Amino acid sequence: MKGKIALITGSAKGLGKMTALSLADQGCHIALNYVNSRFEAEELQAQIIAKGVNSIAIQADISKTEEITFLVKQVEEQLGSIDILVNNAGPFVRERRLFAEYAEAEIQMLVQGNLLGPMLLDQYVLPEMRRKQWGRIIHFGFSHAGEARSWPHRAVYAAAKVGLVSFTKTLAVEEAPYGITVNMVCPGDIRGANKEKTIDEIAGIADDETPRGRPGSGEDIARVITYLCLDHSDFITGNIMDVSGGLDPIRPTI
């Protein structure tokens, strides 16, 4: 993947950061994206450049259409056309709430950020991917999103991501003739500092909730994304891939 240009949304911290580092190790030039975490983004940018590849950091909120346009334009002007798009950013309300308790603005923000934003980003990068007959698009879901089950207290977020499941499968079929793959990676319940840890760093830590017996790490997600972006992974498309250690996040609540 040396010389490929990768845009990872929401990449100043967490899973996006680990993905950026992993793709940089493969020789990709990296476009970082952030909303509020400017210091972290610029620090990561310097770390990536030290690996011998180019990197830029752009502030943009993918829940706002005009900022999506700005983001893509800046990447194309500063690095070139996008070969790899990782739609990592997506707003989430951690507080458990019934659907009736959501404000209208929250509903619109969750749908825009988790469904419409990624769709628009995909549309902006497709023409150049088609021209080059090569492209990789990665969406983020949640574990078991492909089953479209109910998820009480997460109604809006779940609906947006399940909509993205269908879109992922459809876009994969439509773009396959152009050498473009589209897949969804569905992380398990990876929390806090573990999002930026390697597998070795969390080895030996017990997690009674996960059938695998250990917590997930950022590397667990980043290595799957990196594999999907490889040139010879072009036969893998339209897949919804759980990376959860067997954990079912949609557990009944009392």
Residues with pLDDT less than 70, the chain: 251-254
Query: Could you report the per-residue pLDDT of 185-220, keeping only the tens digit for each?
Result: 999 889 899 999 999 999 889 888 888 889 899 999
Which two tokens mark 85?
């798009």
Evaluated on CA atoms 10, 233, 201, 24, the torsion sign reads negative
Which two tokens mark 147?
């089953």
Q: Which of 102, 80, 83 lies closest to 92 in space, CA to CA?
A: 102
**pLDDT value, residue 251:** 60
List, in sequence order, the alpha helices (H) in 13-111.
14-25, 38-49, 65-78, 104-111
Give the rounded distance of the alpha carbon of 161 from its chain centre.
12
CA distance 246 to 158: 19
Largest CA distance in the chain: 53
**pLDDT value, residue 209:** 83
Give the rounded distance of the alpha carbon of 91 from its chain centre.
12
Could you tell me the residue ranges of all domains in the chain? 5-243
pTM for the model stands at 0.94
CATH, domain range 5-243: 3.40.50.720
